[in-house]
Amino acid sequence: MKRRSMLSLLGAAPALLAGSKLEAAEKKHSHARHSSMGASDKIVGLNPRGTPPAIQLIPMAPRLTTLDGKTVYLISDGFPGADVFLNEMKIWFAKNMPSVKTIYRLKAGGFAADDPKLNAEVKANGNAVIMAIGH
């Protein structure tokens, strides 16, 4: 698993997991209480973070052995220029892999919104999806 992905999956800023002398000391002193406010005295601060949701790992769809003769959906999430970009990709496939059938679609709704109707169409008629994601 890529490190950055792992850190992101862990829901924390990368620095938090980089480790520090303070963190090592914390394990020893997590129940410490300060007795006076001298500069060198230890005090204990609380973690300000909220509670992230559990992440359900989603296994990726099995891969195709080849794209030859397959139908690939080219889907835009609606960001400016995506339609032009995916049309160029359509041209690339026609030129370099003419047996691949490409179908362009614009996903309905906002950038992050699901499009169940399009998902159903792809499931029924397609073999693969290339999605251009921007904002």
Residue list 78-107, contact with another protein (CB under 8 A)? 79-82, 84-85, 87-89, 91-92, 96-97
- Is 79:111 a contact under the CB 8 Å cutoff? yes
- What tokens were used for 20? 């520090």
Q: What residues form DSSP beta bridges with 19?
A: none
CA distances from residue 4 to 13, 14, 51, 58, 60 in whole angstroms, order as listed:
10, 8, 20, 18, 19
CB 72, min distance to another protein, A:
8
Residues in 103-132 that interact with another protein by CB under 8 A: 110-113, 128, 130-132
Residues in 6-25 that interact with another protein by CB under 8 A: 6, 8-13, 15-16, 20, 22-23, 25
Q: Which is nearer to another protein, 45 or 116 (CB)?
A: 45
